[in-house]
């Protein structure tokens, strides 16, 4: 049987997210592997890896809330906004008090937009920013603020020239940009010295598996277990067959909606046996449309 499900990896420092995907492909013997939310090589922690049919749910996992713990070093700004980059600006840091940091953190938490780092995977006119920087291009004029969500920032430790913070943020938030902006806000410069992603949605780094422990028999979290944040539609055998053929169905016509309202209209559609059938959308409050269909776990799942 083709492997299918979600793997929570506790990524070590020194590997790219793509490196992790390559290793998981080899361990499970399939090329259908992807990740939901990149981690930089110098960062560690939770990386959600999707295997087989679960690669179809990546867009519905990247929106999960993320928690980071980061060590910020004051006194210098780097080209990459982390310790791997060349120092491009130096400023005094010995004047920074804990109170200064707390005031700056409060202001940064209330910000609803953020300018991405110079070096990132973002594309502008079809080319990634990190490729432009490697070629010597001045990318500053291309940087544009983007809408972000920062739900909470906690100061865990302050011992100059370092400070340690915990951030709870939404999709697309750059901790490297946070470090850069924090340094400027306290009249200095700063970059990320260390970064650890402790949580993505309900999954924590402590429950993540190491790459060394992954083998072909490793447990994969079922799609329906990983998407508990989505409202659900329970189908009958006939309704499941109609949906697999791309037909739209009205609620009550052989299907039952489990929930009060659908988040952005997106729902998880279940087979009669409770396994995942498809990702769907409710239109006009009553009409169910299929967006992504999963191959059945077994033929029995649609023929009972």
Measured between alpha carbons, how far is 225 from 17 in angstroms, rounded to an integer? Answer: 23
Tokens of 228: 């508990």
CB 81 within 8 A of CB 193: no
Beta-bridged to residue 72, according to DSSP, are 163, 192
Measured between alpha carbons, how far is 176 from 34 in angstroms, rounded to an integer? Answer: 24
81 catalytically annotated: no
Among residues 2, 43, 3, 1, which one has the least CA distance to residue 19?
43
DSSP 51-66: EGGGGGGGGGTTTS-E
Tokens of 246: 């791309």
CB 50 within 8 A of CB 58: yes
Measured between alpha carbons, how far is 297 from 304 in angstroms, rounded to an integer? Answer: 13
Measured between alpha carbons, how far is 3 from 28 in angstroms, rounded to an integer? Answer: 7
* DSSP 3-state of 231: coil
Identified catalytic residue from 40, 81, 82, 181? 40
Token pair 């650890």 is at which residue? 196
Tokens of 300: 């029995």
**Residue 192: which residues within 8 A CB-CB, separation 6 or more?**
70, 71, 72, 73, 81, 82, 83, 175, 176, 179
Measured between alpha carbons, how far is 93 from 112 in angstroms, rounded to an integer? Answer: 27
The catalytic residue positions are 40
């Amino acid at each position: 049987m083709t492997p299918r499900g979600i793997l929570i990896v506790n990524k070590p420092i020194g590997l790219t997210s793509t490196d992790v995907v390559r290793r998981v492909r080899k361990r499970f013997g399939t090329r259908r592997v992807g990740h939901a939310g990149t981690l930089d090589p110098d960062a560690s922690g939770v990386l959600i890896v999707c295997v087989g049919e679960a690669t179809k749910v990546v867009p519905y996992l990247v929106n999960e809330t993320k928690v980071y713990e980061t060590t910020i070093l004051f006194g210098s700004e780097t080209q990459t906004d982390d310790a791997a980059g060349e120092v491009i600006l130096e400023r005094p840091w010995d004047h920074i008090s804990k109170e200064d940091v707390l005031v700056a953190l409060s202001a940064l938490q209330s910000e609803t937009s953020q300018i991405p780092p110079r070096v990132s995977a973002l594309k502008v006119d079809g080319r990634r920013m990190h490729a432009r920087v490697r070629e010597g291009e001045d990318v500053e004029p291309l940087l544009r603020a983007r809408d972000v969500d920062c739900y909470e920032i906690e100061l865990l430790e302050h011992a100059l020239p370092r400070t340690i913070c915990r951030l709870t943020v939404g999709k697309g938030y750059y901790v490297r940009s946070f470090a850069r902006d924090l340094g400027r806000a306290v009249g200095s410069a700063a970059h990320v010295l260390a970064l650890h992603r402790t949580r993505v949605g309900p999954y924590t780094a402590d429950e993540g598996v190491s790459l060394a422990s992954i083998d072909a028999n490793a447990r994969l979290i079922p799609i329906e277990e990983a998407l508990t944040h989505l409202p659900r539609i329970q189908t009958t055998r006939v309704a499941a067959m109609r949906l697999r053929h791309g037909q739209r169905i009205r609620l009550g016509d052989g299907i039952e909606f489990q929930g009060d309202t659908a988040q952005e209209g997106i729902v998880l559609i279940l087979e009669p046996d409770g396994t995942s059938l498809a990702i769907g959308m409710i239109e006009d409050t009553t009409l169910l449309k299929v967006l992504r269909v999963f191959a059945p776990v077994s033929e029995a799942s649609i023929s009972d």
